Amino acid sequence: MTDAQREDPAEAVTAMVGHVLDLAATWTAWDGRPVRADDRVYTPHKAIRRVADHLIDHLAELEARLVGEEPLPDHWHASATTTEADLAPFTQDDLDEARSRLTRLARIWANRLGALTDDQLDRSPGEGWSFRELALHLRGSTYYADAVGKAS
- Long-range contacts at 15-19 (CB < 8 A, ≥ 24 apart): 15/139, 16/51, 16/106, 16/138, 16/139, 16/141, 16/142, 17/51, 17/55, 17/102, 17/103, 17/105, 17/106, 19/142, 19/145
Report the pLDDT value the prediction gives residue 66, as an integer from 0 to 100: 96
Note the pTM of the prediction, 2 decimals: 0.94
pLDDT at 7: 87
**If we measure between CA atoms, which residue out of 39, 29, 34 comes closest to residue 90?**
29
Give pLDDT tens digits along the chain (152 positions): 565 567 899 999 999 999 999 999 999 999 999 999 999 999 999 999 999 999 999 999 999 999 999 999 888 788 899 999 999 999 999 999 999 999 999 999 999 999 999 999 999 999 999 999 999 999 999 999 999 999 98
